[in-house]
Amino acid sequence: MTLVDLRSDTVTKPTAAMRRAMAGAEVGDDVYGEDPLVNALEERVAAMFGHEAGLFVPSGTMGNQIGMRLVCQPGQEVLGDAEAHVVTYEMGAAAAVFGLSTRTVVSDGGVLSADQLISQVRPFGNWHLTPTAAVAVENTHNRAGGLVQPLEELEKLFAWSRDAGVSVHLDGARIWNAAVASGVPLDTYGRLADTASVCLSKGLGAPVGSVLVAGADRIAEARLWRKRLGGGMRQVGVLAAAGLHALDHHVDRLADDHARAKQLAERLGVDPAGVHTNMVVLDGVAAPMLAAAAKGEGVLVSEVSATRVRLLTHLDVDDAGLDRAVEVLAPLL
Ligand SMILES: Cc1ncc(COP(=O)(O)O)c(C=O)c1O
């Protein structure tokens, strides 16, 4: 039975061409700063986002957590959306590892509202209040179904933050999807954040890796944090090669994933207007039963809650996979 895995875009396997690029990678010891492809990847991604420097990290979680630590000191707070990945799925790392406090706002469906966040920011210099050092934004927003954040709101928040002395961290795990869907250039998104973590291992199809981008001084400090966390890696150019290959070949094709997600929604009777990028959310379903029945037929879906299922399109879901998914899921719905 062919398996169609719609649980996440992280499940992709490296393509044959990506594996060839990895096999042929020239490598060096990256802890000495001597891995040529890691250096090339860091420089390239930093430039793509309009930042001075980049740091290759093993995961989006490490990129986010170090990124937030760079702009927030222990005992200060990061403000973000209640459904943000950084506060939902990162095991309380901000508090557990770095001593950062987090506070959240319940937004309208995950859509970033600059005014709402700004109204919740707490000032420095007050003896009673935990000061808000940074705001974390997520684009696309995972738990909001791959939502692309409105550019005007990002601009408003960033403009305000300059005068307020508050930093902005971008969780850009799927910023590539946001850019392809909205047409907003990557460097526009990048320049609206002080620190940004972008993932190579989601829609771009690399097996491992994220890049944290920021100013050069901040990235120098990030390098220390990565080492402290055990994230100093050695001949890791084999992974950077996968990332560079993904940047060359897998960014524009995200439009195909987005088109297939819309098609999937339409064919399952879900309003395609609710599909922003590569995610389809099925609400009001008996999620455990649906997931188990679909699995029995070789279609894997993600249970977000008892009544919500999430389907993601990605590099390893082609038209035949899409047809099979519809064939299995439509009768179950
Ligand atoms: C929005 C978002 N941020 C961060 C991450 C963390 O990435 P990683 O699994 O590489 O730690 C994910 C993972 O899916 C994500 O969806």
Average pLDDT, the chain: 98
Cα–Cα separations (whole angstroms), residue 221 to 57, 172, 217, 227, 233 = 13, 20, 6, 10, 16
- The span from the CA of 15 to the CA of 205, in Å, is 8
* Mean pLDDT value of segment 25-41: 98
Distance 85 CA to ligand 1 centre (A): 7
- The span from the CA of 161 to the CA of 222, in Å, is 22
Atom index in ligand 1 nearest the CA of residue 10 equals 14
Would the CB of 177 count as within 6 Å of ligand 1?
Answer: no
Residue 1: per-residue pLDDT? 75
pLDDT by residue (tens digit) across 235-276?
Answer: 999 999 999 999 999 999 999 999 999 999 999 999 999 999
Would the CB of 142 count as within 6 Å of ligand 1?
Answer: yes
CB neighbour list of residue 39: distance below 8 Å, 6 or more residues apart = 33
Name the nearest CA neighbour of 24 among 173, 242, 217: 242
Would the CB of 85 count as within 6 Å of ligand 1?
Answer: yes
Q: Pairing state of beta strands 167-172 and 195-199? A: parallel
pTM exceeding the 0.95 threshold for the entire prediction: yes
Ligand 1, atom 5, residue with closest C-alpha: 60
Which position has the token pair 């630590």? 69
Ligand 1, atom 15, residue with closest C-alpha: 173
The share of the chain scoring above pLDDT 90, in percent, equals 99
pLDDT by residue (tens digit) across 188-217?
Answer: 999 999 999 999 999 999 999 999 999 999
pLDDT reading at 2 higher than 90: no
Ligand 1, atom 8, residue with closest C-alpha: 60
Would the CB of 88 count as within 6 Å of ligand 1?
Answer: no
Name the nearest CA neighbour of 54 among 66, 64, 41: 41
Would the CB of 30 count as within 6 Å of ligand 1?
Answer: no
pLDDT by residue (tens digit) across 51-104?
Answer: 999 999 999 999 999 999 999 999 999 999 999 999 999 999 999 999 999 999
Would the CB of 132 count as within 6 Å of ligand 1?
Answer: no
Confidence of residue 301 (pLDDT cuts 50, 70, 90): very high
Would the CB of 60 count as within 6 Å of ligand 1?
Answer: yes
Residue 326: per-residue pLDDT? 98
- The span from the CA of 307 to the CA of 80, in Å, is 25
Q: Report yes or no: 111 and 89 within 8 Å, Cβ to Cβ.
A: no
